[in-house]
Chain A
Amino acid sequence: MDSKSRTLRLRSGLYRTNLSMLILTLAAAVATPVPPAGAQDNIFTGTNSGATSIRIAVADFKPLAADAQSTAFKQTFDATFYADLANAGIFDIVSKSLLPAANPGSPAEMQLQSYATAPASAAFVTFGSLGVAGGKLVANGYLFDAKNAQYPQVLAKQYSEDATEDSARQVAHRFADEIIFRLGGGTPGIAETKIYFVKVGGGEKEIWAMDYDGANPRPITHLGSISISPRVSPDNSRLAFTSLGKYGFQLKMYSLLLGRYVNFPSGSGSSESPAWSPNGNEVAYAAAPDGQFNIWIADSNGALARKVTSFRGGNVSPVYNPRTGAQIAFISAVTGLPQLYIMNTDGSGVQRLTDGGYASSPSWSPNGQFLAFAWDRKYGPGAPGGQDIYIIPTTPGPDGAYHWVQLTWDGGRCDFPSWSPDGRHIVYANSADGRPEHMRIWTMLADHTQKHPLTGPGADMPNWSWK
């Protein structure tokens, strides 16, 4: 009952446009923790043009060979490919029990009618074949329009890669992204994107990277210190972060192309929480050369630094509007507890968005319309409630107020939301019991559905790559 009342508390006028979905969400929330079958492109981000989810049949690929290696790769491919489409947030995937028993491997073997009619009733069907041939992993993937008997082929792709487990995963991601791009309103898929994060262990924190689905985690830094706040550049060439050295926390820059650190002078004193402008030419950050943390902007090499704010109390966590590059959201404690603000990059038009509590960690949605952030609305010693993920529009409603929406609740401490480049997903850190060492990284659709963890405990501060 509690979850129902909480869902109702989503005081979003945005939901009104799609009452059926709200009811569906409610029914799902009350009856079962499983996300609604029709979890669709979220209506907040504007990427959904009102169409309901596309019903798609995902046939397991047919093995090209029966050897053990091919079988293992095919298993990896099928599971990864299925998960990519299920996670995309725009599909209604036909249950595999409703599909014909035999999996077609090529258009010649395709019995389109058996997918188009009940019980499958699919609008689209994906199928193909995969195996190891001549030392290469070869995959042929097809997307067919099930309702177009005469010219059903929408997409045909052939992949030939080194025969490794990772290739099987990457080929699945690439083919899934091709399909999502074509059926998802022209928005590129995110299956090939990366998530950078802080790996916590042994009293140290290092920056790590992983695939968008949590697979393939790998270390980037080996500083043996405390490194936090990773932010990858829009072209994936560099990683800005903050690291503890002899003179306190300062910005550091790592070239992902060169595989080494590059100079980024951020002045004397502490500096932290870098953010890239969408064209990659500027970095905004918080620095305290005079003992007060304020927002600064420098070029991408750390030169030509200029101070943008001059408020007392601490000003941190800047983030650019990724659509315009002309605005920055940040956290300021100028009035007491930290609150969420936006301003123009020249320091004009400072606007407070939150009306109290304790706000942190803003992330601007790719379409520029929303900020996701962490908020403890009843912050204080002994106060009830907790820190959860919210989104808030960056322009006020007709009544002049900013109508925020709560995306998490009753799940422990949440922090560091980060939007996916397609605007349909938000990754965030969560600790069920609130203890910092139990932080793990979760992902969800931006309409708060399909929450699931991507890592085990000891992973914090996720940052989703721009592409």
Chain B
Amino acid sequence: MRKNRQEKVLVAQQKQESLMTTPRSMKSRSIRAALYLAVAMVAISGCSKKPSPVNPASLGPTAPTPPSPPTATLTADPLAIDLGQSVVLNWRTTDATSVIIDGIGPVNVNGTQTVSPSSSTNFHLTAKGEGGSTEANVRVTVRVPVAPTVPADTSATTATPDMGSEAAFHANVPDIFFDYDSYELRAEGQTSAAKAAAYLVAHPEIRIVIGGYCDDRGSAEYNLALGENRANAAKTALVSAGVAPARVRVVSFGKEKQFCTEETDECWQQNRRAQFSLDR
């Protein structure tokens, strides 16, 4: 459980760092582009489910007849392309009043559109009508050329100071947990901080980041302040035990990075903490 959590942290940090630096190769850039497209498509599909407004037609004097459910087909030609080429999407629906294609938006009930996806894409069509809704899918495969990778630069790693292993660090610098809506160190938090300070004083080459975290209740904006206070409370404990302030960096994550997403007391407690990481 514990180890699992740390791995998640690492992944999150690496991801953030990769966002701050220039992509090293075409490959990583195209993967990022693919990620963005995938995220955007998921996001659009989540947002398009708005309530149907009052349909004035349904208020007319005509006698109601049971509406038939809509049908929809979606095809693409060709189904596989090289990066930069385009595909013609073709859709036909019956008994639909509104048709939405994720990533394109609301479209006519029948139509065609030329698209140039930058990565392999599932086009997903949702047709809604009086009689319900239906969906249709088509996958377009994009062949992305792979750029030759640059050999890893080894000189950079030798220049960084030796901070020891992650395992040794986490064994000696445990996270500090907090009470609900509090940033006071509890008794066992004081013990954790003393242990951490002893290790850091003995290893002066180590620089650390303290992340301040909160459980997912309450306000996002206030919890950033609470996370800041938790991380600073941990920093204060280290500094008063002899760790140089310049070695310690503080980042508040508020309630934006949850490790445990169950709505239980145990889970909330895991999320309310100051977490130590090596500041590589």
Contacts and interface: CB of A to CB of B under 8 A. Distances in A.
Contacts of A374: 219
B201 interface: no
B167 interface: no
Interface stretch (B71-79, B133-141, B221-229): B221-229
A317 B60 contact: no
A291 interface: yes
Contacts of B49: 455-456
A214 B48 CA distance: 8
Interface string B18-48: 0110000000000010011011101110111
Give the size category of B's interface with A. Answer: 35 or more
A458 B222 contact: no
B138 to A, nearest CB: 22
A213 B54 CA distance: 12
A51 B54 CA distance: 26
A9 interface: no
A275 to B, nearest CB: 11
Contacts of B260: none
B51 interface: yes
Contacts of B61: 97, 101
B150 to A, nearest CB: 23
Interface in B85-130: 97, 105-109
Given A82-B56, A223-B19, A272 B221 contact: yes
A270 B252 contact: yes
A418 interface: no
B216 A436 contact: yes
Contacts of B44: 217
Interface stretch (A146-154, A179-187, A239-247): A239-247
B47 A206 contact: no
Given A202-B42, A288-B225, A456-B46, A78 B219 contact: no
3 A-B pairs closest in CB distance: A314-B225, A360-B219, A456-B49
13 contacts: A60-B56, A242-B224, A244-B16, A248-B251, A288-B228, A292-B228, A293-B228, A313-B229, A314-B229, A331-B221, A434-B263, A453-B51, A455-B50
Interface of B: 16-17, 19-20, 32, 35-36, 38-40, 42-44, 46-51, 53-57, 59-61, 97, 105-109, 180-181, 216, 218-222, 224-226, 228-229, 232, 235, 249-257, 263, 265
Interface of A: 58, 60, 69, 72, 75, 78-80, 82-83, 86, 95-97, 101, 165, 199, 201-202, 204-206, 208, 210, 213-217, 219, 222-226, 228-229, 242, 244-249, 269-270, 272-273, 286, 288, 291-293, 313-317, 331, 333, 336-338, 358, 360-361, 374, 376, 379-381, 415, 434-436, 452-459, 461
